[in-house]
Amino acid sequence: MEVIWDADSQIETWQEVTLVYNAALKQINTKLEILNDEFQHVHQYNPIEHIKSRIKTPESIVKKLKRHGYESNIENMVKYVNDIAGIRVICSFTSDIYRIAEMIRLQNDIRVIAVKDYIRNPKKSGYKSYHMLVTVPVFLSDRTVEAKVEIQIRTVAMDFWASLEHKINYKFEGNAPEHVKSELIECAEMVSKLDDRMQQLNEEIKAHGNVI
């Protein structure tokens, strides 16, 4: 993913990192809640089930920098780590994912830097999700900082699978036995089929004038 670094918006301490990225998360959270409320008002339907957000821990950031050969300092954190601030948006149906992504894309003050569509192009592990790297302006008292936020959009079923995969990778430190990896791939295929069937069921219900 492309890296964005504005030399005029330098963040000098970890306290500022936390301040700025927490503010960015609040802004995008609020935007998503408003969009969800508006969708309910217009279409009597909420595409968003729930939203999770987090700031990456300093330990995780340092590990990531070291893994890519960068010195551990604040400048490199902001410049090279794209997921310091992360938001996960959980939907009921696959169609909701692209609907939400488009709503985010149309926000005037959000700039989409990169997109990774792991739904149409899943990872070899079976992982599916829609990733957007965006920047949002954070207005401080003396300057404006363009903060990067990674947005992951996925269905409930995709999120359940990804949570299990994360736990397994943590347990085996990224080197799970082959039979476990094969089971995960099979489960990913089951999740995909479940999402497709639920989508078809919802479309059938919508055709009769109701929405789940």
Q: Are 163 and 31 in contact (CB under 8 A)?
A: no
Beta bridge partners of 91: 48, 155
- How many CB atoms neighbour CB 136 within 10 A? 21
Which of 1-5, 183-187, 192-196 has the weakest average pLDDT? Answer: 1-5
| Catalytic one of 49, 150, 183, 189 | 150
Name which of 151, 152, 153, 150 is nearest 4 in CA terms.
150
Q: Are 48 and 97 in contact (CB under 8 A)?
A: no
Q: Above 90 in pLDDT, residue 55?
A: yes
- How high does pLDDT run on average in the chain? 90
- Mean pLDDT, residues 37-51: 90
d(Cα 40, Cα 29) in Å, to the nearest integer? 17
Q: What are 137-186's pLDDT values in tens digits?
A: 999 888 899 999 999 999 999 999 999 998 998 888 778 889 998 999 99
Q: Tokens at residue 12, please?
A: 């000098």
Looking at the chain, the whole-number percentage of residues with pLDDT higher than 90 is 72
Domains of the chain and any CATH numbers:
7-156 (3.30.460.10)
Roughly how many angstroms between the first and final C-alpha of the chain, as a whole number? 36
d(Cα 209, Cα 205) in Å, to the nearest integer? 7
d(Cα 153, Cα 191) in Å, to the nearest integer? 15
102 part of the active site: no
Q: HEC profile for the chain?
A: CCCCCCHHHCCCCHHHHHHHHHHHHHHHHHHHHHHHHHHHHHHCCCCEEEEEEEECCHHHHHHHHHHCCCCCCHHHHHHHCCCCEEEEEEECCHHHHHHHHHHHHCCCCCEEEEEEECCCCCCCCCCCCEEEEEEEEEECCCCEEEEEEEEEEEEHHHHHHHHHHHHHHHHCCCCCCHHHHHHHHHHHHHHHHHHHHHHHHHHHHHHCCCCC
